[in-house]
A and B are shown apart, each in its own frame.
Chain A
Amino acid sequence: MKRAFPILAVLTTILLTYASYRALKIAPTDALQGDVYRIIYYHVPSAWTAFLLFFVNFIASVQYLVGTNSSTKAAGKWIVIVGGVIGAVAPFLPPVEHVLPTGMRPSAVATTVLLIPAFYFVIGWLFPGERLDMLAVTAAEVGVVFCTIVLVTGPVWARPVWGIWWAPGDIRLTSTLVLWLIYVSYLVLRRFSSSAQTQTLAAALAVFGALDVPLVYFSIWFFRTQHPQPVIGGGGSMDPRMLETLLISWTAFLCLAFLLGWSRFRLEVFRRQVEEAQALESLLGAGASTAPSLPLDRGSK
C-alpha cells in the first residue's frame, strides 16, 4: 500500500502536466471568449472535485452521527435505501418527468440519485467507526483547498468576460461562497474545540451546512443568474476536444485530490496514535514507563 503512494504521485504529476498541455495547446480557442476561456480547465474541475469532497464529508458526518448507536444506524440504513429507491423511480413518473428541466434525461437523474446510497454504503463499509471522522476532516480540508481555487479562478475569469469581478446575488457564486464559509467554520470549530467530542460537534455542523446549501440556492431564486448553465447535462453543446480536455483535467484533479486526501488521512491516523500514546503515558505516570512508547517509528505500524 505504501509503495503505491509514490507511483500514484508520479502518475498524478504526469496526468496534470498532460492536462495542462492539452488545456493550453490542443484544445481549440473559444469563438467568443478567445484564449481567456482556457481557465475553464482549472475552474470547473476544481469545482466538481470540491463539491464531491464536501459531499463525501456530509455522508461521512451523517454516518458518524448515526453510527453512535445501533438503532439509529439501522434506521439510517433503511432511510437511505428507501430514499434511493424512491429517487430512482420518481424521475420516470410522468408528473415528475414533466418538471425536469429540458435536456435532463430521467435516467441520468435516477443514476445520480442512486449514487447517494452507493456512496453511503461504500463509505460506511470502507471507513468503520473513528475512521469516518478522519475521512470527514480529510474531505473537508482538501475540499476547502479546491473550493478556494474555484473562488479565486472565478473572478479572474469573470473580470475579462463579464466585466465584473463578482456578481453579487448570483445563485452559483453565492452558494459556492456560502459553502466555502461553512466549511471554513467547520475547520475553525475543529481547531478550537477543546473537548474529546469534537467529532460529534463537527459532524452536527456538517449536517447543518448541508441543510443550508439548498436554502441558499432557494433564497436567491429570484435573482437573475450571471453564471452560465452547466454545459454538460444542461443541454449545452461543446466541442468534443474541449470536453475531452475537460474530463482529462478533471481526472487529473481527482487524482491530485485523492493523493492529498491520502496523505492527510495518514497524517490524521498518526496524529491520533500519538495522542493516544501520550494520554496513556500520562495515565501510567512518568515513572512507570521508561521505554519510549510513542509510535514515532512509522515503520513499526
Chain B
Amino acid sequence: MSSLWAVTLATLVKDVRLEWRSKDALNSMLFFSLLVVVIFVFSFDPLAEESRHIVGGLVWVAFLFAAIMALNQTWARELRNQVLDGFRVSPAPANALFLAKALGNFIFVCVLEALMAPLFVIFYNLHVLGPAWQLIPVALLGTWALVVNGTFFAAMSLRTRNREIMLPLLLFPVSVPAVIGMVAGTTTILTGEGSAHFYIVLLLTYDVVFTTACLTLFGTILHAE
C-alpha cells in the first residue's frame, strides 16, 4: 500500500513540476475556454435573469471542451522515450500511475475553473440566488467525474488511430449522467429554485462507481499490448 502512494506521489509531483515549468496544458486550456466564453457572449446576449438559467450549461460545456485538451496530453508525454513501456515492466502498481495522472488532471482543471469562473460572473452579470457554497462540491465532484473517466479513456485511445478525436467520442456518451448532474446542479444553485442535494449525491455516486471501475480495469488496459 505504501508503495502505491509513494509511486502515486512521485508521478504526481513529476507531472505537476513539468506542467509548472512548461504550462503547456494550462495555457492552452485557459485560452481555449476564454475563447469559448467570448463566443458564447456574442452568441447569447441574455439579461441577468435569463443568464442564470443558461450559464450552468455554458460553464460546463466550456470546461468539458477545455478539459479534453489536458486529457489528450496526459499520456502523450509518457510515449516519448518509451516511458510507458518502462512503467509496464516495472513492479510499480498500475493503479499508482492512473491515480497520479487523474489527480494531476484534476488539479489542472480545478485551477482552470478557479481562474475562469470569475470571468463568467463578469460577462454574465451573475448573482447567485441559492446557497453559493454548494457550487464548490458540485464543481469538485463534477471535475473528478470528468477527469477520472477522461484519464482512463485517454489511456484507452492511446492504442487507436487518430487518438485525439477518439477521446471525446468515448468520453462524452459515458459522461452524460455526470454532465446532467453538473449542469442541473449548477443551475439549481444559481437560480435558487429547489435543492441541489440530489445532484451532489448523483455526482458522488457517479464518482464512486467509475473510480472503482477505472481502478479495477486500468491494469488490464495498461498491459493490453
- A interface list, Cβ under 8 A from B: 65, 68, 174, 178, 181-182, 184-185, 188-189, 192-198, 200-201, 204-205, 207-209, 211-212, 215-216, 218-222
Contact = CB atoms under 8 A, between A and B. Distances in A.
A188 B213 contact: no
B109 to A, nearest CB: 20
A174 B173 CA distance: 11
Contacts of B177: 178, 212, 215-216, 218-219
Given A194-B161, A197-B224, A181 B173 contact: yes
A283 to B, nearest CB: 19
Given A181-B176, A192-B161, A200-B221, A222 B149 contact: no
Interface of A, secondary structure class, is helix
A174 B205 CA distance: 19
B202 interface: yes
Given A192-B166, A219-B181, A208 B149 contact: yes
Interface residues of B, number: 30
Contacts, number: 93
Contacts of B161: 192-194
A153 B102 CA distance: 41
B198 interface: yes
A185 B180 CA distance: 19
A208 B160 contact: no
Interface of B, secondary structure class, is helix
Interface string B164-182: 0010011011101100110
B209 interface: yes
A264 to B, nearest CB: 22
A194 B156 CA distance: 11
Contacts of A178: 173, 176-177
Contacts of B170: 185, 189, 205
B224 A207 contact: no
B164 to A, nearest CB: 11
17 contacts: A174-B176, A178-B176, A182-B174, A185-B170, A185-B173, A192-B162, A194-B159, A195-B160, A196-B225, A200-B221, A201-B156, A204-B221, A205-B156, A209-B173, A215-B206, A219-B176, A219-B181
Contacts of A200: 220-221, 224
Nearest to A192: B160
B224 A195 contact: yes
Nearest to A72: B220
Contacts of A65: 217, 220
B174 A209 contact: yes
Contacts of A222: 184, 198
Contacts of A182: 173-174
B159 A195 contact: yes
B220 A68 contact: yes
Interface in B188-225: 198, 202, 205-206, 209-210, 213, 217, 220-221, 224-225
